[in-house]
Structures are given as structure tokens and as C-alpha cells.
């Protein structure tokens, strides 16, 4: 069976973990965390990058930093992971779900504009499959209405929009290093703070509401309780594992892109014959091959294709159930405007196996199986 995902492993992670053990510093913000932060700050050109236990935790930090409270409205796509919404629901916000554009499954800027009210505080964009949202339109809207822009870039490390790395465009950006993402340490994440006025508070929130990070830099001689906060730190053991993956980021990216391009080439004929639809990458976007998805005619055909591929030894999986149709989504938010694409398109999406080290032979096997299904 070709699995849908295999956690990325370069092969030398255990040496870095051993080194972390020898340095006698295992808590957060140690030397390996510092190395990962510096890598992100240099590679992404952001003001400040801090490691968190997950993207979920980083999103919770953005809600605290944006001072979202009871009755505030936050706009986001319904087609996303629960954490995008949960982070703001935890602060008492009303979630305003809007439609996506079908080509990218990213938030529709027109629907976003339509959902803005005097209570709107933030727009949360999700770069689905590592392909950028229309950031020029979103930033323009945010500036006009004085809103925060938070990029849920969980899937988008190493992707860019008009040459700008994703995660570094809005006021804040978040990444995930969960085992299903391109770069991993099992569970982990990062917060990019692009607005310099938020950096000091971000460091305090991360360290349980204390100024411990200033203490470690020698700026203050003891650390004290300064603000609300939590333990938003990543263990050094995880940071050590992650540091190896970031050191090999170009190699991992190239390997994934090769598989992605092979899928695209191998299925092009079926896209041309309109048996299936393939992913759409807008001209301004450079993507990171986080995901290769196809769209079947409808949900029933998707179920049949999943079953057939399983018989052929290929694990293909659907993705999000739109949040506005879930129990919690109905309780904590509402859909604004027409659900023209979110529900129908979400029922057609099927993700194919894609991970670092996936062989060309396995990609070919998947492509052949899909062709065989449509010849039947």
C-alpha cells in the first residue's frame, strides 16, 4: 500500500537530538530553537520568528496579540482546519465564514469585503495546499478598514506570492511542523511576527506572561509576571529534529516538486478530457508542493475512486468538511454571503499520496490506477 503520508526524515535527526541532550538544555528557546528562528527570519525576511508547540498554539497567540475579545468578528474561509477558527472562538469572537474561489480553494476577496462590519477585527487567510491567497486584495481591504491580517500558513512554508514568502505578508503568520506537513518535528509550529510593535508582547505571552526572554538576553536582572500568557514553547528535542529539516529545506522542496510535477504531467490527459480537474496555480504564486489534489465530478464519484485506488494499493484521502456545516461551526459562527463553492467543491477534492522520498515508481503506479479507473 502506498501511504498517503510519511513523516519527513532526512536521516541525521537523531544526531541533532543527541547533541541537544548533551548540551543539557531541553526546555524551550534553547540553542536549536534559536537556530530554527534565525533560519526562518533569514529565509522568510520576517522581523521575528518564534517556535511554538503547534500551529494551533501559534494561532492562539495571534488571537491574544490582536486582542480579540467578546463580540469581535473575525472573517475566514469555512474551508479550513478547525484550529483556524478555534483560536478566535476561545477569545469569544464571532466567526464570519466566507466562500472560497474554486480554482485555489482560498478565501474570496469579494466575499471578504462583503462580510466586513464595524465589529470586524481581523481577516484570517489560509494558503490552502501551499498556494497563496490573493494577498494584494486582502492587504488593501485590511488597510482600508484597519483590520489585522493573520496568515494561517500551516501548509505554506517555502511558498511565495509575487516573490514574498508566505507567512511574512500579513501582520502575523503561523506555520505547522505536524508530521503531515512538508517540514516536521512530530508536533510543532511557529509564529511569525511581522509587525514590530507586537514582538515584545509575543515574547512575553510565549513565556507564560513573564519577561524571561529579556532576562535570558541580559536586559533585565530577574524575570517577573508582566501579562497574561501560556506555555507556548517548543521543546529543544523537537527543535533539534526540526533544525535538520530546515537545513535540508531546498532538497525536501525539490523532491516534493518533482512528484507534484509528475502527477500533473501524468494526469494532464484526463484534465484535458474533463474527466477530472487538476490544481490551479495562479501566475503570481510559487508553491511548495504541499499537496496534490484532483477534483472528481462529485462526491459519489470520489467515493468510488477512493475505493478503487485502495484496491490498487493507493491511499487517497478527502479533506475538510466545511466548518460552517459542523455542530461547533453553527454554534460559534455563521456563513456570510452565498455558499457557491465551499460545499460542492469540498465534496470533490481527493488528495493523492505525496511525501518526501515518494518514488517515481509509486507516483506512476497512482497515475496508472487513475487512468485505469476512467477506462472502465
Positions touching ligand PLP (CB under 6 A) are 54-56, 80-81, 83-84, 126, 152, 154-155, 176, 178, 189
User: Parallel, antiparallel, or unpaired for β 172-176 and 189-193?
Assistant: antiparallel
* Residue 276 Cα distances to 81, 249, 260, 344, angstroms: 25, 32, 16, 15
Nearer to ligand PLP, 80 or 213 (CB): 80
Nearer to ligand PLP, 155 or 253 (CB): 155
In the bound complex, what is the minimum distance in angstroms from residue 174's beta carbon to ligand PLP?
Answer: 7
Nearer to ligand PLP, 178 or 212 (CB): 178
Find, among 123, 79, 87, the residue nearest to 104 by Cα.
79
Nearer to ligand PLP, 81 or 355 (CB): 81
In the bound complex, what is the minimum distance in angstroms from residue 163's beta carbon to ligand PLP?
Answer: 23
Specify the long-range contacts of residues 262-265, CB closer than 8 Å, at least 24 apart: 262/360, 262/363, 262/364, 262/367, 263/292, 263/352, 263/354, 263/363, 263/366, 263/367, 264/292
For residue 137, the cross-strand partners are: none
Find, among 227, 222, 234, 235, the residue nearest to 208 by Cα.
227
In the bound complex, what is the minimum distance in angstroms from residue 356's beta carbon to ligand PLP?
Answer: 17
Find, among 155, 154, 182, 350, the residue nearest to 263 by Cα.
350
Is 190 strand, coil or helix?
strand
Find, among 231, 283, 291, the residue nearest to 105 by Cα.
291
Nearer to ligand PLP, 166 or 202 (CB): 166
User: Parallel, antiparallel, or unpaired for β 106-107 and 100-101?
Assistant: antiparallel
Q: Which residues contact 263 (CB under 8 A, 6 or more apart)?
A: 292, 352, 354, 363, 366, 367
Q: How many CA atoms lie within 13 A of 188 on its CB side?
A: 27
In the bound complex, what is the minimum distance in angstroms from residue 20's beta carbon to ligand PLP?
Answer: 20
In the bound complex, what is the minimum distance in angstroms from residue 230's beta carbon to ligand PLP?
Answer: 14
- Grid coordinates belonging to 138: 486582502
Nearer to ligand PLP, 188 or 353 (CB): 188
Alpha-carbon torsion, ordered 230, 36, 201, 52, to 10 deg: -20
In the bound complex, what is the minimum distance in angstroms from residue 78's beta carbon to ligand PLP?
Answer: 13
Nearer to ligand PLP, 76 or 305 (CB): 76
In the bound complex, what is the minimum distance in angstroms from residue 173's beta carbon to ligand PLP?
Answer: 12
Q: How many CA atoms lie within 13 A of 92 on its CB side?
A: 7
In the bound complex, what is the minimum distance in angstroms from residue 371's beta carbon to ligand PLP?
Answer: 30
Q: Do residues 191 and 172 touch, judged by C-beta distance below 8 A?
A: yes
Nearer to ligand PLP, 8 or 154 (CB): 154
In the bound complex, what is the minimum distance in angstroms from residue 312's beta carbon to ligand PLP?
Answer: 27
Nearer to ligand PLP, 190 or 267 (CB): 190
Find, among 82, 95, 98, the residue nearest to 133 by Cα.
98
Amino acid at each position: 500500500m502506498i501511504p498517503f503520508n510519511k513523516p519527513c526524515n532526512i536521516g541525521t535527526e537523531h544526531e541533532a537530538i543527541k547533541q541537544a541532550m548533551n548540551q543539557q538544555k531541553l526546555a524551550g528557546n534553547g540553542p536549536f530553537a534559536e537556530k530554527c528562528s534565525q533560519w526562518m527570519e533569514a529565509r522568510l525576511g520576517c522581523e521575528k520568528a518564534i517556535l511554538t508547540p503547534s500551529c494551533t498554539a501559534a494561532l492562539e497567540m495571534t488571537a491574544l496579540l490582536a486582542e480579540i475579545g467578546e463580540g469581535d468578528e473575525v472573517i475566514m474561509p469555512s474551508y479550513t482546519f478547525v484550529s483556524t477558527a478555534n483560536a478566535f472562538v476561545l477569545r469569544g469572537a464571532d466567526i464570519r465564514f466566507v466562500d472560497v474561489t474554486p480554482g485555489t480553494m482560498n478565501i474570496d476577496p469579494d466575499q471578504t469585503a462583503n462580510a466586513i462590519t464595524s465589529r470586524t477585527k481581523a481577516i484570517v487567510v489560509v494558503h490552502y495546499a501551499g498556494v497563496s491567497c490573493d494577498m494584494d486584495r486582502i492587504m488593501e481591504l485590511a488597510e482600508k478598514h484597519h483590520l489585522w491580517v493573520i496568515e494561517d500558513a500551516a501548509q505554506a512554508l517555502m511558498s511565495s506570492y509575487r516573490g514574498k514568502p508566505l507567512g511574512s505578508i500579513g501582520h502575523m503568520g503561523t506555520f505547522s511542523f505536524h508530521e503531515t506537513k512538508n517540514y516536521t518535528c512530530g508536533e510543532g509550529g511557529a509564529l511569525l511576527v511581522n509587525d514590530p510593535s507586537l514582538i515584545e508582547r509575543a515574547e512575553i505571552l510565549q513565556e507564560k506572561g513573564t519577561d524571561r526572554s529579556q532576562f535570558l538576553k541580559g536586559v533585565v536582572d530577574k524575570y517577573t509576571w508582566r501579562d497574561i500568557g501560556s506555555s507556548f514553547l517548543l521543546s529543544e528535542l523537537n527543535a533539534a529534529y526540526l533544525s535538520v529539516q530546515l537545513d535540508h529545506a531546498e532538497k525536501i522542496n525539490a523532491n516534493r516538486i518533482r512528484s507534484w510535477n509528475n502527477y500533473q504531467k501524468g494526469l494532464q490527459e484526463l484534465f484535458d478530457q474533463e474527466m477530472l480537474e487538476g490544481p490551479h496555480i495562479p501566475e503570481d504564486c510559487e508553491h511548495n508542493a504541499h499537496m496534490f489534489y484532483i477534483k472528481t465530478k462529485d462526491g459519489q464519484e470520489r467515493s468510488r475512486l477512493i475505493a478503487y485506488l485502495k484496491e490498487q494499493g493507493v491511499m487517497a484521502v478527502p479533506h475538510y468538511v466545511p466548518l460552517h456545516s459542523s455542530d461547533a461551526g453553527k454554534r460559534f459562527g455563521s456563513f456570510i454571503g452565498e455558499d457557491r463553492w465551499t460545499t460542492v467543491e469540498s465534496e470533490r477534492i481527493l488528495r493523492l499520496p505525496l511525501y518526501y522520498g515518494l518514488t517515481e515508481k509509486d507516483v506512476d503506479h497512482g497515475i496508472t490506477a487513475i487512468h485505469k479507473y476512467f477506462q472502465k
